Amino acid sequence: YPYVCHAELNAILNAISSSLKGCTLYVGLFPCNECAKAIIQSGIKEVVYLSDKYSEADNTKASKWMFDQSGVNYRRLEAEHTSLTVALQ
Protein backbone atom coordinates (compact mmCIF):
# COMPACT_ATOMS: atom_id res chain seq x y z
CA TYR A 1 0.00 0.00 0.00
CA PRO A 2 2.82 2.50 -0.40
CA TYR A 3 1.09 4.43 -3.19
CA VAL A 4 -2.42 4.87 -1.80
CA CYS A 5 -4.04 6.85 0.98
CA HIS A 6 -5.71 4.40 3.37
CA ALA A 7 -9.43 4.81 4.09
CA GLU A 8 -8.79 5.92 7.68
CA LEU A 9 -6.50 8.77 6.65
CA ASN A 10 -8.80 9.69 3.77
CA ALA A 11 -11.75 9.95 6.19
CA ILE A 12 -9.75 12.14 8.58
CA LEU A 13 -8.48 14.44 5.84
CA ASN A 14 -11.94 14.82 4.28
CA ALA A 15 -13.98 15.16 7.47
CA ILE A 16 -16.75 17.74 7.25
CA SER A 17 -16.21 18.83 10.86
CA SER A 18 -13.14 20.83 11.78
CA SER A 19 -12.69 18.69 14.88
CA LEU A 20 -12.86 14.93 15.30
CA LYS A 21 -12.20 15.04 19.06
CA GLY A 22 -14.18 12.34 20.81
CA CYS A 23 -15.49 10.78 17.58
CA THR A 24 -15.78 7.08 16.74
CA LEU A 25 -14.21 5.74 13.54
CA TYR A 26 -15.72 2.64 11.88
CA VAL A 27 -13.33 0.66 9.68
CA GLY A 28 -13.26 -2.65 7.83
CA LEU A 29 -9.75 -3.72 8.88
CA PHE A 30 -7.86 -2.87 12.05
CA PRO A 31 -5.81 0.27 11.26
CA CYS A 32 -2.13 0.06 10.37
CA ASN A 33 0.45 1.93 12.44
CA GLU A 34 0.56 4.90 10.04
CA CYS A 35 -3.22 5.36 10.20
CA ALA A 36 -3.10 4.87 13.98
CA LYS A 37 -0.84 7.93 14.26
CA ALA A 38 -3.35 10.06 12.34
CA ILE A 39 -6.25 8.67 14.38
CA ILE A 40 -4.51 9.57 17.64
CA GLN A 41 -3.50 13.05 16.45
CA SER A 42 -7.03 13.80 15.22
CA GLY A 43 -8.53 13.18 18.66
CA ILE A 44 -10.67 10.19 17.67
CA LYS A 45 -11.40 8.26 20.86
CA GLU A 46 -12.78 4.95 19.57
CA VAL A 47 -12.11 2.65 16.62
CA VAL A 48 -14.66 -0.01 15.73
CA TYR A 49 -13.34 -2.59 13.27
CA LEU A 50 -14.86 -5.55 11.44
CA SER A 51 -11.76 -7.70 10.92
CA ASP A 52 -8.38 -8.06 12.61
CA LYS A 53 -7.03 -10.61 10.13
CA TYR A 54 -3.52 -9.16 10.37
CA SER A 55 -3.43 -9.25 14.18
CA GLU A 56 0.01 -10.90 14.22
CA ALA A 57 1.61 -8.31 11.92
CA ASP A 58 4.12 -5.96 13.54
CA ASN A 59 2.31 -2.85 12.33
CA THR A 60 -0.98 -4.03 13.86
CA LYS A 61 0.74 -4.75 17.16
CA ALA A 62 2.28 -1.27 17.01
CA SER A 63 -1.16 0.26 16.36
CA LYS A 64 -2.65 -1.47 19.39
CA TRP A 65 0.26 -0.36 21.57
CA MET A 66 -0.09 3.25 20.42
CA PHE A 67 -3.86 3.18 20.98
CA ASP A 68 -3.37 1.73 24.46
CA GLN A 69 -0.78 4.37 25.35
CA SER A 70 -2.88 7.26 24.04
CA GLY A 71 -6.26 6.18 25.40
CA VAL A 72 -7.93 5.35 22.09
CA ASN A 73 -10.40 2.52 22.65
CA TYR A 74 -10.85 -0.17 20.02
CA ARG A 75 -13.32 -3.00 19.66
CA ARG A 76 -14.48 -5.52 17.11
CA LEU A 77 -17.94 -4.94 15.65
CA GLU A 78 -20.30 -7.70 16.70
CA ALA A 79 -22.73 -7.69 13.79
CA GLU A 80 -26.27 -8.95 14.30
CA HIS A 81 -26.50 -10.02 10.66
CA THR A 82 -23.85 -11.63 8.50
CA SER A 83 -25.26 -10.61 5.13
CA LEU A 84 -27.06 -7.77 3.40
CA THR A 85 -29.47 -8.16 0.50
CA VAL A 86 -30.41 -5.19 -1.65
CA ALA A 87 -33.38 -5.36 -4.02
CA LEU A 88 -32.49 -3.49 -7.20
CA GLN A 89 -35.92 -3.73 -8.81
Supply the residues annotated as catalytic: 8
Cross-strand bridge partners of residue 47: 25, 74
In contact, 66 and 40? CB cutoff 8 Å: yes
Helix (H, G, I), strand (E, B) or coil at 88: coil
Cα(79)–Cα(72) distance, rounded to whole angstroms? 21
